[in-house]
Amino acid sequence: MKLCVPIPCFFGSLPFEKAVEKVSSLGYEYVEIYDWRSLDLVSAANALKKSGVTMLSMCTTEFRLTDPKYRDMWARGIKESCEAARVLGVKKLITQVGPHTGAQREEQHKSVVDGLKAGAEILRRAGVTVMIEPLNTKVDHPGYYLTSSSEAFDIVREVGSENVKVVFDIYHQQISEGNIIPNITENLDLIAHLHAAGHPGRHELQFGENDYRNIFACVDKAGYKGACGLEYSPLADPEESLAEAKRIFG
């Protein structure tokens, strides 16, 4: 498994080019960001190339899949994000599905599926995968629609596109449902990326109730070949925290 550094979590106050240099100097090869619109794409692409760092994922510009009236806006955002991904060499986009609208869950579920189906051909032509993300509503995202990994997997199956997958955030799913190792290892064909943080607190992986060494070992043994983004707020100095993560988990 590869470890990936989300730039905003560790070096969000630095210009992107300097942040990438920091990441490279710590021996990491992979990064991700959230808002690609904050970047000068050409300058960022040059910085990635110069440092030898690969950007694995970034977010789409629109997240409201639960409401059909935003579907065209979401599709336009996918087109824009795929073009930015082409410049940056990114192959994966993260999209949240949006808030619970108050409509019946069946209606919202169908809206998410239909929206992803509408974007699947755009993604296929671009060679980019979009990843929906279940989140917890108990601590961080009250009012969000998609909390269950099983529903996320059902959505991906219903869409039926190799360009639509799940980003499985271990921190969020520990809060929402637990059963982390089976939920990952039994659904590797539907998962394109992992995120992780210690719970409670969303800090370093070693400061929480999950045994990440065992989780990673089991996921590796099951055949996962992707990356895990260290999506936490460090208690230690960011550089020290990443150096320690590499010693423990790298």
- 179 residue type, one letter: N
- Which of the residues 32, 62, 204, 231 is marked catalytic? 231
Residue by residue, DSSP assigns the chain as -EEEEEHHHHHTTS-HHHHHHHHHHTT--EEE-S-GGGS-HHHHHHHHHHHT-EEEEEE-S----SSGGGHHHHHHHHHHHHHHHHHHT--EEEE---B--SS-HHHHHHHHHHHHHHHHHHHHHHT-EEEE----TTTT-TTBS---HHHHHHHHHHHT-TTEEEEEEHHHHHHHT--HHHHHHTTGGGEEEEEE-BTTTTB-TTSSSS-HHHHHHHHHHHT--SEEEE-S--SS-HHHHHHHHHHHH-
Going from the N-terminus, what domains does the chain have, and what CATH number goes with each? 2-235 (3.20.20.150)
Structure tokens at 166: 């799940």
Q: What angle (nearest 5°) sits at the alpha carbon of residue 226, between those of residues 60 and 34? A: 25
Residue 163 Cα to chain centre, angstroms: 14
- Which of the residues 32, 62, 133, 204 is marked catalytic? 133
Find tokens 């992803």 and name the residue: 116
- 8 residue type, one letter: P
Burial (Cβ within 10 Å: 0-12, 13-18, ≥19) of residue 52: exposed
In this predicted structure, what is the pLDDT of residue 143? 98
> Within the chain, which residues score under 50 in pLDDT?
none
Instruction: Note if 231 is an active site residue.
Output: yes
In this predicted structure, what is the pLDDT of residue 36? 98
Instruction: Note if 121 is an active site residue.
Output: no
In this predicted structure, what is the pLDDT of residue 103? 98
In this predicted structure, what is the pLDDT of residue 41? 98
